[in-house]
Amino acid sequence: MAVQLPGDAQSVHYLVGANLRQLHRFPTAIKLSEWDSVAAVSAAGMKEFIYCPHCANSMQVTAPDNYQMFIMVNSNTLNSIVLIQDDYIRTIAPSYPHIASEKNRHILYESKAINNRLAMFYQEAKTDYPGRDVLLKQLARIITSLLLGGISRPVVVKSESRRSKGVEQAIEYINDNYHKKITLNELADQVNYSQYHFIRIFQKETGKTPFEYLTGIRVKKAKEFLRSTNLSITEICLQCGFQNSSHFANFFKLHTGMSPSEYRQSLELK
């Protein structure tokens, strides 16, 4: 069930059972000018934890005051957002310092652990039965802890000279084939690892998931094309292996803070 939210809406709707209700009005407007449609669900009527799945324009959303916004990005253009109140974060992690980020926004790549619990949270929020509220609150606490861990956990990255042969082979394969569609299964097969083992080793040694690394290479190549050629944005998108122009713009802005066209214009001004 989805709710159309107008631009600069100052309230969010949430699901309680099968009924949509209005959440309290935020002190600062949530900028939703390009947020197509979203079903925002809150744990048992809590205003402290709000889950907004499948947002097509998540980079346009601004968190209200006293809220942290976690954007889970993936390989397509539909990202999920979780808004969590600062005070709620402190009740779960009292010793956790204030989270500093631009516009209270944190970018995380999707993980199975978070995705599974968010899917469960969404399904449970749409039903009504004895004990549901307790489960939702427990899920909200678990998801919050996982999100905090995702932005706070330091990663010890191995130097290139100490990387394993399998990871080096995977990196070489990505660098040679970034313009093609590359699957996780394909990368794991290249080095004769199971998918789970490959992800764990790759992230341990590079500090990034295979998908993060691949996207970074594609953005890097796109920047080179924008600097050195007159190819159109669409042509560069396809040359660099992105699925479509919207997908390309989403990830390019995530990595550079600018859209591809803005990046090209900034080069012309130099």
The token duo for 127 is 């039903």
**83 and 213 share one domain:** no
State yes or no: pLDDT of 252 exceeds 70: yes
| Same domain flag for 136 and 260 | no
- Give the CA angle between residues 77, 236, 78 to the nearest 5°: 0
Confidence label for 253 from pLDDT (cuts 50, 70 and 90):
confident
Specify whether 27 is located in the same domain as 123: yes
Residues 6+ apart with CB under 8 A from 102: none
Q: pTM for the whole thing?
A: 0.54
DSSP code at position 42: E
pLDDT score of 175 more than 90: yes
| 252 falls within a domain | yes
Question: What is the C-alpha separation between 267 and 149, in angstroms, rounded?
Answer: 37
Mean pLDDT computed over every residue of the chain: 75
Identify the domain boundary among 125, 152, 179: 152
Domain boundary residue, one of 109, 128, 152: 152
What CATH number did the domain enclosing 215 receive? 1.10.10.60
Residue 8 in any domain: the answer is no
The first and second tokens of residue 134, run together, are 């307790």
Q: What value does the mean pLDDT take over residues 3-24?
A: 37
- Judged against a pLDDT cut of 90, whether residue 172 lies above it is answered with yes
- Tally of domains in the chain: 2
Question: 5 lies in a domain?
Answer: no
State the CB neighbour count (10 A cutoff) for residue 4: 11
CA 268: distance to chain centroid? 31
In a domain, 3, yes or no: no
- Asked if 178 and 47 sit in the same domain, the reply is no
CA distance 231 to 245: 13
**What percent of the chain has a predicted confidence (pLDDT) above 90?**
18
Phi then psi for residue 182, to 5 deg, are -120, 125
Does residue 118 fall inside a structural domain? yes
Looking at the structure, do residues 110 and 176 belong to the same domain, yes or no?
Answer: no
Q: How confident is the model at residue 243 (pLDDT cuts 50, 70, 90)?
A: confident
**Of residues 124 and 176, which shows the higher confidence score?**
176
More confident residue, 44 or 9: 44
Report the candidate in 47, 268, 146, 202 with the shortest Cα–Cα distance to residue 194: 202
Cβ atoms of 95 and 107 within 8 Å: the answer is: no
Question: Is residue 140 located within the same domain as residue 17?
Answer: yes
Distance CA 257, CA 251 (A): 9
Cα(213)–Cα(163) distance, rounded to whole angstroms? 15
Assess whether pLDDT exceeds 90 at residue 27. Answer: no
Which of 152, 177, 196 corresponds to the end of one domain? 152
Sign of CA dihedral 91, 113, 62, 258: positive
Lowest mean pLDDT among 84-93, 94-103, 206-215, 238-247: 94-103
Q: Which domain holds residue 170?
A: 160-269
Q: 179: pLDDT confidence band, cut at 50, 70 and 90?
A: very high
